[in-house]
Amino acid sequence: MKLDIKEYAGVLGTGFVAEMAPSILKGALVTALKDKTVKEATEWVEKKVSLWDTLSVKQQEGLKTLAQKAGRLNWLTGEWVIGAIRKDLPLLASLFLGWRKAHNWLDRQVIIIRQEVGR
């Protein structure tokens, strides 16, 4: 079952979307990163790849819609991302935890994403 945030946001209200935003974003992150290997993530870090630019236009628009409905995304940090992917993607989470350069890269990517979605 696929949740279409645009369909339900008006009915359920901003408060509900704000409450569900971390769960929705966690699901999107796991889906976007599930096929990535540690080698690929390492290459992203080394080449300073923009995570935002790796997302499809549909994914970018979905994040923008989520941010508009959810309000402030001050909870969205590099640490939050690591915690969100830790169970489903333990190798990637370990990479970001154990390698300072990767952790810094992730923090920068989160800042860029928050800027792109306007939150």
Residue ranges making up the domain that contains 64: 5-116
Render 17-71 in DSSP notation, one character per residue.
HHHHHHHHHHHHHHHHHTT--HHHHHHHHHHT--HHHHS-HHHHHHHHHHHHHH-
Quote the mean pLDDT of the chain: 86
- Residue indicated by tokens 């939150």: 119
Instruction: Evaluate if residue 29 carries a pLDDT over 60.
Output: yes
pLDDT in tens, 40-64: 999 999 999 999 998 889 989 988 9
Number of compact structural domains in the chain: 1
**Taking the alpha carbons of 85, 91, 95, 97 in that order, is the dihedral positive or negative?**
positive
Instruction: Evaluate if residue 1 carries a pLDDT over 70.
Output: no
Question: Do residues 55 and 32 lie in contact, with contact meaning Cβ atoms separated by under 8 Å?
Answer: yes
Q: How far apart are CA 42 and CA 104, in angstroms?
A: 12
Q: What is the pTM of this model?
A: 0.81
Instruction: Evaluate if residue 9 carries a pLDDT over 70.
Output: no
